Amino acid sequence: MKSHATFVFLILVLALTMQACSSLKHSNEKEQKVLIQTTEGDITLKLYNETPLHRNNFIKLVNAKTYNGLLFHRVIKEFMIQGGDPQSKTAGPDTMLGDGDVGYTVPSEFRTPQIYHKYGTIAAAREGDDSNPQKASSGCQFYIVVGKKFTNEQLDKLKESKIARYGNTNDSTYKFSTQARQDYINVGGTPHLDGNYTVFGEILKGMEVVEKISEAETDKHDRPIKAIRIKKMKLIR
């Protein structure tokens, strides 16, 4: 009969093998690309295979033409641009937006510290923690990160403040990989959102369009004065 130590070792080897196979599967899968045609220009993005629930949901909505004609209803310079509210398609200029949905949420798929809110990523919007402690994502609303650059010291302070607020000092939510630090320092992003909102893709082309949208003149609710629409989304190879 195998000893307990041997049994534990075999279980550990099996777990590591399964994890490696899962990672290999994700790396071998072809990443789906999406073209977003807006009134300000075109944006091309890829969806991460590491977040399959969000990837599949986004593909479903693109195929259903759900996003065609919707507004970027909330934009903040050096932060992000947000769209995907179904009510924005026919909304008047004074209509409050941001509460529209498709009747369901998507379970969170946090992949920190490997996947994070660097400049040019796309992530899912969601309801706040009070009504949504599981941090489930909106079924349709998303945002594209513009953000800003941070220093090492600022990242350390952010990490400390998150630990003080949430605890769990060993949780990957509070850790920045070497690559993440380099990205936040050199290209920017929104690191305070890591581990709180699901990142599920990144922009391949068209960040100049995203930046242009982020700098649009807005009202007191961060809605652009001039309507900025998604004309069409489609899958591309």
Coil/strand/helix, residue 231: strand
**CA gap 48, 200 in Å, rounded:** 5
Count how many Cα atoms sit within 13 Å of the Cα of residue 224 in the half-sphere of its side chain. 22
Q: Quote the pTM value.
A: 0.86
For the residues 34-62, what does the mean pLDDT come to?
Answer: 98
- CA 75 to chain centroid, in Å, comes to 15
pLDDT at 74: 98
* Pairing verdict, β 230-236 and 33-38: antiparallel
pLDDT at 62: 98
Length of the chain: 237
> In this structure, which long-range contacts are made by residues 49-54, counting pairs with CB atoms below 8 Å and at least 24 apart in sequence?
50/26, 50/109, 50/111, 50/114, 50/115, 51/109, 51/111, 51/115, 51/198, 51/199, 51/200, 51/201, 52/109, 53/106, 53/107, 53/109, 54/106, 54/109, 54/124, 54/137, 54/198, 54/200
- What's 173's DSSP letter? G
| Model confidence pLDDT, tens digit, residues 55-112 | 999 999 999 999 999 999 999 999 999 999 999 999 999 899 999 999 999 999 999 9
Percent of the chain past pLDDT 90, that is, above it, reads 77
pLDDT at 203: 98
Mean pLDDT of the chain: 89
Confidence of residue 9 (pLDDT cuts 50, 70, 90): very low
| Model confidence pLDDT, tens digit, residues 132-189 | 999 999 999 999 999 999 999 999 999 888 888 777 766 667 788 999 999 999 999 9
Confidence of residue 17 (pLDDT cuts 50, 70, 90): very low
**CA gap 230, 28 in Å, rounded:** 31
Strand partners, 234: 35
- CA 213 to chain centroid, in Å, comes to 18
